Amino acid sequence: MKLAKEYLPKKILEKPKEGFGVPLESWFYDEKGVGRFMDLLGEKKTRERGYLNSKYLDNMYDKFHKRSLEMESFEGLIWPIINFELWNKIFIDRDLGGYE
């Protein structure tokens, strides 16, 4: 902070912190990017684990394809669910099955 005080105006240093948003929605609709993982939500193995509510996943997946899913759902729901399922595939199943 001492270094910043030397080079930055006081007005900048007094501003409140702001989050750094990432374009998760557009990343998920890119099938060559993060979107390639969306199919994990519909996989039989994901549903058989019993951790997630299948009806809820179906509803979320349906909204995703209709492009009516709320923006917050990408960061707050889909991103954590996909990461959790990838973790299960890596450390429990020991099989990424095409998701490498």
Cβ neighbours around 54 below 10 Å, total: 13
- What is the SS3 assignment for 15-50? CCCCCCCCCHHHHHCCCCCHHHHHHHHHCHHHHHCC
- Predicted TM-score (pTM) of this structure: 0.71
At position 49, the amino acid (one-letter code) is R
Length of the chain: 100
- As given in the structure block, the two tokens for residue 58 are 């179906």
pLDDT in tens, 7-37: 889 888 888 888 877 788 888 899 888 888 8
Would you call 79 helix, strand, or coil by DSSP? helix
pLDDT in tens, 44-90: 888 899 999 999 888 988 999 899 988 888 888 888 999 999 999 99
Tell me which long-range contacts 10-19 makes (C-beta under 8 A, separation of at least 24): none
**Tokens 């912190």 sit at which residue?**
17
The whole-angstrom separation of Cα 15 and Cα 95 is: 47
